[in-house]
Amino acid sequence: MASNPDLKGRRILITGSSTGIGEALARQAVAAGASVAGLSRSLSDGFQDGIHSFRCDVRDEDQVRAAVDRAAQALGGHLDGIVANAGYGLYGHITKGNPKDWHDVVETNVMGVLYTVYYGYRKLAPEGVRDILLMSSISGRGARLGAGVYAATKFAVTAIGESLRQELAEQQIRVTLCEPATVDTPFYEVAVRHEGAGVIARNFAPLTAEDVAAACVYALAQPAHVVLNQIQMRPNGQAV
């Protein structure tokens, strides 16, 4: 197993790279030697700190297709890794929610992942170590009161990842699901909240974006014959 993550020569696409886990992952991947392209709807096109940035709303299929094409071109024509990280939270009772908000979170957290995988796969290098990493959540394994719609999107990501792993196994394309619990990022600050949105009491120190990013880089840096199919992470002390 790789102990010092080395991504030298790898070309990695990361969605949702402007903040939180995606931003930390982009920085750590560059530090490990990768060439990185980041997609986010809040980014401006450009190149800074070793990262090629492209504005893209993953809810829009045409934008994803165009941005993935541009990202692959910026990285030399192919990708060696795809990280479908873009997503956001929605909390509250289902019976007191807002169907428009449900639509937006499903479009982002589910369709955005599918678009990223679909068009990113077509830009993967024909050989070598190739990875698809999907950012799911501990909510993709168990739903709690006040998080039913969000959990449904992450259950979908978990299903996509597990099916994709089987689909791509013979091509030796590695598929990893990352499933963190509470992470201290702006995620919760920008989450949509309806009536009944609960708050997990934080009598523990949450994970940091850097913690989760480090686990993802570790998975991406494994030798070609090793696949970390699932990474589940909780803060020490968090029971659910």
CATH of residue 123: 3.40.50.720
In the predicted structure, residue 2 carries a pLDDT above the cut 50: no
79: which DSSP letter?
Answer: B
In the predicted structure, residue 184 carries a pLDDT above the cut 90: no
Q: Indicate the SS3 state at residue 84.
A: strand
For residue 152 the two structure tokens come to 């449904």
Mean pLDDT on 147-153: 90
| pLDDT for position 192 | 61
Q: Is residue 240 part of a domain?
A: no
Mean pLDDT on 36-44: 94
Q: What share of the chain is helix, strand, coil (3-state, %, to 5)?
A: 40, 20, 40
Q: Give the total number of structural domains in the chain.
A: 1
Q: Is residue 224 part of a domain?
A: yes
| pLDDT for position 147 | 81
Give residue 144's pLDDT band: very low, low, confident or very high (50, 70, 90): confident
Confirm if 29 and 221 have CB atoms less than 8 A apart.
no
Give residue 48's pLDDT band: very low, low, confident or very high (50, 70, 90): very high
Confirm if 135 and 181 have CB atoms less than 8 A apart.
no
Q: Is residue 51 part of a domain?
A: yes
Q: Indicate the SS3 state at residue 228.
A: coil
Q: Write the pLDDT tens digit of every residue in 104-141.
A: 999 999 999 999 999 999 999 999 999 999 999 998 89
Q: Is residue 4 part of a domain?
A: no
Listed residue (111, 54, 51) closest to 87, CA to CA:
111
Q: Measured between alpha carbons, how far is 137 from 111 in angstroms, rounded to an integer?
A: 16
Q: Is residue 111 part of a domain?
A: yes
Q: Is residue 151 part of a domain?
A: yes
Confirm if 179 and 161 have CB atoms less than 8 A apart.
no
Q: Is residue 1 part of a domain?
A: no
Q: Is residue 3 part of a domain?
A: no
Q: What interhelical angle do 112-121 and 61-74 show, nearest 10?
A: 40
| pLDDT for position 111 | 98
Please give the mean pLDDT across all residues of the chain.
Answer: 92
Residue with the larger pLDDT of the pair 162 and 200: 162
Q: Name residue 74's amino acid.
A: A
Q: Write the pLDDT tens digit of every residue in 202-220.
A: 788 999 999 999 999 999 9
Q: Write the pLDDT tens digit of every residue in 76-85.
A: 999 999 999 9
* Parent domain of 106: 11-233
Listed residue (174, 172, 138, 143) closest to 158, CA to CA:
138
For residue 226 the two structure tokens come to 């090793």
In the predicted structure, residue 191 carries a pLDDT above the cut 70: no
Give the rounded percent of residues in the chain with a pLDDT score beyond 90: 78
